Structure 1
Amino acid sequence: MREILGDLGLFRDRRFALLFAARTISMLGAAFAPVALAFGILDLPGATATTLSVVLTAEALPMVLFMLFAGVLADRFPRQRVMQFGEWANAVAFFTLGAMLLSGWTPLVGLVAAAAFSGIAVAALYPALTGIIPEVVPPERLQAGNALLGLGANVARMGGAVLGGATVVLVGGGWALAVSGALFATAGVLISLVRPTPLVRERGERHSVLKDLREGWREFSSRQWIWVVVAQFSILVMAIQAGHGVLGPLLAKESLGGPAAWSAFLAGEAIGTIAGVVVSLRVRPRRPILVGTLLCLPAALPYFLLGTGSPLWLTVLGAFVLGVCFDVFGVLWMTTMQREVPPESLSRVSSYDALGSLMFGPIGLMLAAPAAALMGVQNALLACGGLVVLSTCAALLSPGVRNLRAPARLEAVSS
């Protein structure tokens, strides 16, 4: 109990409290978006699963393409400012999407353009967030700081999944997207108030973007545990994008009960991530990357349950298990990167991490609708689960994944 109270003492630091509030509100806005966008698009006259795939791909593709440049920006400029841009750009994108749905003027090219701008905004956020946390949180509290930030994000995901679904049912997807925009704008204001400890950057010759990228690649590729898990996640995220983005909502609309059922699924996942925070606050495994990778195996469970026609309550339970495992993995992964990678390269390495992990996501979104038409929605979901298991087992063959050890003082805590 004393250790937990000590971790909660981070909230006495104004910088951490502001970062926590900004991240939580931003994730609440993001949690509104999947249900609102999926069912808002599917409810448009003449819209099909292909329409949804096109819009979601338009969001995912620029996010992947812009990610490396965003990492360079976050290592060159104050990460706080890069995050502000990301939050406010997201606000503009979602206000635009909401206005289009509310007005009834929804040309596909307009939806695609707004979704693409959102993808660029999200790309700006991730590398800067990874890098700014060590500028706000003391080194010995990094895992606790990551876990608490995850707690706020997870509570927001749960609340957003429920409130987003309710908003879609009561007043439609357009209003839910407008709420998302307002939340992103608020997060941007809070980020502007954070005053992180500035990163000491060496003075000297200004490097080109390409040289910065090469240096970041050297840091990334020299660590086997990083690039192997990133390769694993490139396949795993492809499966999750297809399952969560298109196939799951499609099955929910066809046979599970529509947006309310899919909101329940997402809420079950969000509750699982909250439970995962309790674990991630205290667990200190000797081999954090090995434990995190093993925790990816249960991520296949909800897809196997959906694919076999299991009842809704059981699929929600499977989503809960996925949430627990992914939350613990995320905290172990981010904390290990922040400890092992030099601070001046951290955002670039995290951008390579995000790029590699997300690069096949658009392919999953593009293939989801044809796969559903070719083999049926349930069989396509089973294939998603199979990809999760196969990619994880392949990653476990790596010595770097199995053998990387936490610092000695953390091993003592876990013993």
Structure 2
Amino acid sequence: MPTAPRTTEIAKSAPPPARSVLRDTAFLRLWTGATASGLATWALPFVLGLAVLDRTLSPAALGLLLAARTVGFLAAVPVGGVLADRHSRRGVVLWSGLAAAASAPLLAAGLGRSLPLMALAAALAGAGQGACRPAFQALTAEVVDAGRRQQANAAMTLSVRVSTLAGPALTALLAVALGTGTLLLGIGALWLVAALTPGRGTRAPDGARSPEGPSPQRPSFLAEFADGIREARRHPWFIATLAALTAVIATGYSATGVALPLISRDRYDTGVVLAAATTAYTAGALAAALLIARWRPPSQGWAALAGLAAYGFAPLSLLLPVHPAVVVAAYAVAGVGIELFNVPWFTATQREVAPDKLARVSSLDFMLSYGLAPVGLALIAPAIDAFGPRAVLAVCALICFAAPAAAALVPSARHFSSRPARKAGAP
């Protein structure tokens, strides 16, 4: 009868525990750059809003600048995706960050002097922001091994939420001592950090020439982007989830962005509800980022889509004259849900999509989900005027609940994978 293996022998044959991604220098450099880009992206509309408060900018001018930034973002996202798959992802991060950094002194120079110059600079800032997003997403898959990507993505989103929570107070304090122009230059410095800090990934650029001879003629830009779309269509769970995410952002996010300030003012006669609800949303997202860094639900796709559907509680809480605490709690639940969705969504995309097409597929994600948000914001206010806030909020809440539920019906959505799930104990 064979003897059982000794504990020491088992310990020797077992793989060592994975090293924390927070102790990885390459990831920390990437995390620092991504955090700087996220903080700069958030800070620009806030600092321009301060310029409206001190009457350096008019509200109409602010709207024009934010629209120019959005146009630049939407134009650059697909370009950045193709370039990041065609060339070095590190190089795309570098040049897009430098472009966004160059916009800061132009914005400062045009402040109070030339609105056309500021609009051009805002479009340049949006282009830099848009081009770097898919490159950062793809570079994460290069720098971090598959087993630690969920932890890495959680750390990325955690930095965004901390910036959102602490950024307004810090910027307001700086604005007391520094002028708006100086704050704009500070945003440029953040973009320099984003451009220069990350290191190279492990992937060789697709454009590198083979030592055996010249590379074949490269397809056109449109053909390469279409190839990325075909790759996305190979993953039914991705298409269904992206449609659900776009619907939630275009309706729920937009509705609450417009309706919450109005209801806080008209129903509760105070701005405290607005401040408390937005803070609760960020705090909920922070807690969820810490949780999802280690939690691996058995059916991660369904769990993520349930988190996305939780955003529906935000517009639902604004329907009836409930106690303000209910609104705040609903926003906290929405914040938890959106982060329980984001991290598995990013991780699954990095895992399932072909590595040489990852940036293009990621650009499709950002272009649709973030790109349609301004459209939703533009349409929500006229819809509220025409049909009333209750009808609009009810429809938006229904869409937030129904769209993820419909996406969950796609068979591959359960695990965010088109590959058959392995049975427990299978190699």
Q: TM-score, normalised by structure 2?
A: 0.79
Alignment of 1:117-136 (within 5 A): 117-136=124-143
Q: CA deviation at 1:410?
A: 9.3
Deviations 1:159-205 (A, max 9, x none): 224434555688786665454333222222313xx132233648432
| Structure with higher RCO (Cα < 8 A, 6+ apart) | 1
> Secondary structure at the residue paired with 1:349?
helix
Match of 2:163 in 1: 156
The answer as to whether partners of 1:7 and 1:144 remain within 8 angstroms in 2 is no
The answer as to whether partners of 1:54 and 1:112 remain within 8 angstroms in 2 is yes
Q: Structure 2 residue aligned with 1:358, among 351, 361, 370?
A: 370
Deviations 1:383-408 (A, max 9, x none): 54343233223323323323645989
Q: Structure 1 residue aligned with 2:204, among 193, 199, 207?
A: 199
Q: What is the one-letter code of the residue matched to 1:82?
A: V
* Paired positions, count: 402
Q: Structure 2 residue aligned with 1:30, among 38, 41, 44?
A: 41
| Partners of 2:98 and 2:265 in 1: CA distance | 32
| Partners of 1:55 and 1:394 in 2: CA distance | 37
Alignment of 1:266-277 (within 5 A): 266-277=278-289
| Partners of 2:166 and 2:303 in 1: CA distance | 29
The answer as to whether partners of 2:250 and 2:373 remain within 8 angstroms in 1 is yes
Q: Structure 2 residue aligned with 1:391, among 392, 395, 403?
A: 403
Q: CA deviation at 1:113?
A: 3.2
Matched, 1:64 2:74: yes
The answer as to whether partners of 1:23 and 1:149 remain within 8 angstroms in 2 is yes
Deviations 1:77-134 (A, max 9, x none): 111121122323333335544555xx43464x55543332222122111110111012
Q: What is the one-letter code of the residue matched to 1:182?
A: A
Q: Structure 2 residue aligned with 1:323, among 335, 353, 357?
A: 335
Decide whether aligned partners of structure 1 residues 345 and 412 sit closer, same or farther in structure 2, where only a CA change above 3 A counts.
same
The answer as to whether partners of 2:310 and 2:338 remain within 8 angstroms in 1 is no
| Partners of 2:391 and 2:118 in 1: CA distance | 30
Decide whether aligned partners of structure 1 residues 365 and 171 sit closer, same or farther in structure 2, where only a CA change above 3 A counts.
farther
Match of 1:143 in 2: 150
Alignment of 1:181-200 (within 5 A): 181-191=188-198, 194-199=199-204
| Partners of 1:368 and 1:307 in 2: CA distance | 15
| Partners of 1:328 and 1:362 in 2: CA distance | 24
| Partners of 2:384 and 2:416 in 1: CA distance | 40
Deviations 1:121-149 (A, max 9, x none): 22111110111012111222121222222
Alignment of 1:57-136 (within 5 A): 57-97=67-107, 100=110, 103-105=111-113, 107=115, 109-136=116-143
> Secondary structure at the residue paired with 2:293?
helix
Q: What is the one-letter code of the residue matched to 1:89?
A: A
The answer as to whether partners of 1:167 and 1:173 remain within 8 angstroms in 2 is no
The answer as to whether partners of 1:89 and 1:121 remain within 8 angstroms in 2 is yes
Alignment of 1:210-359 (within 5 A): 210-239=222-251, 242-243=254-255, 246-248=258-260, 264-306=276-318, 308=320, 314-359=326-371
Q: CA deviation at 1:333?
A: 0.7
Decide whether aligned partners of structure 1 residues 11 and 358 sit closer, same or farther in structure 2, where only a CA change above 3 A counts.
closer
Match of 1:19 in 2: 30
Match of 2:13 in 1: none
> Secondary structure at the residue paired with 2:223?
helix
Decide whether aligned partners of structure 1 residues 303 and 171 sit closer, same or farther in structure 2, where only a CA change above 3 A counts.
farther
| Partners of 1:317 and 1:305 in 2: CA distance | 9
The answer as to whether partners of 1:98 and 1:178 remain within 8 angstroms in 2 is yes
| Partners of 1:248 and 1:180 in 2: CA distance | 28
Decide whether aligned partners of structure 1 residues 383 and 82 sit closer, same or farther in structure 2, where only a CA change above 3 A counts.
same
Q: CA deviation at 1:334?
A: 1.1
Decide whether aligned partners of structure 1 residues 158 and 80 sit closer, same or farther in structure 2, where only a CA change above 3 A counts.
same
Q: CA deviation at 1:74?
A: 0.5
The answer as to whether partners of 1:35 and 1:168 remain within 8 angstroms in 2 is no
More helix by share: 1
| Partners of 1:360 and 1:253 in 2: CA distance | 27
* Structure 2: runs of 5+ lacking an equivalent: 1-15
Decide whether aligned partners of structure 1 residues 57 and 382 sit closer, same or farther in structure 2, where only a CA change above 3 A counts.
farther
Q: CA deviation at 1:291?
A: 1.5
Select between 306-315 and 79-88 the one with higher mean Cα deviation: 306-315
Decide whether aligned partners of structure 1 residues 335 and 384 sit closer, same or farther in structure 2, where only a CA change above 3 A counts.
same
* Structure 1: runs of 5+ lacking an equivalent: none
The answer as to whether partners of 2:282 and 2:332 remain within 8 angstroms in 1 is yes
Q: TM-score, normalised by structure 1?
A: 0.81
Select between 313-322 and 268-277 the one with higher mean Cα deviation: 313-322
Q: CA deviation at 1:39?
A: 5.9
The answer as to whether partners of 2:44 and 2:184 remain within 8 angstroms in 1 is yes
Q: What is the one-letter code of the residue matched to 1:190?
A: T
Q: CA deviation at 1:33?
A: 3.6
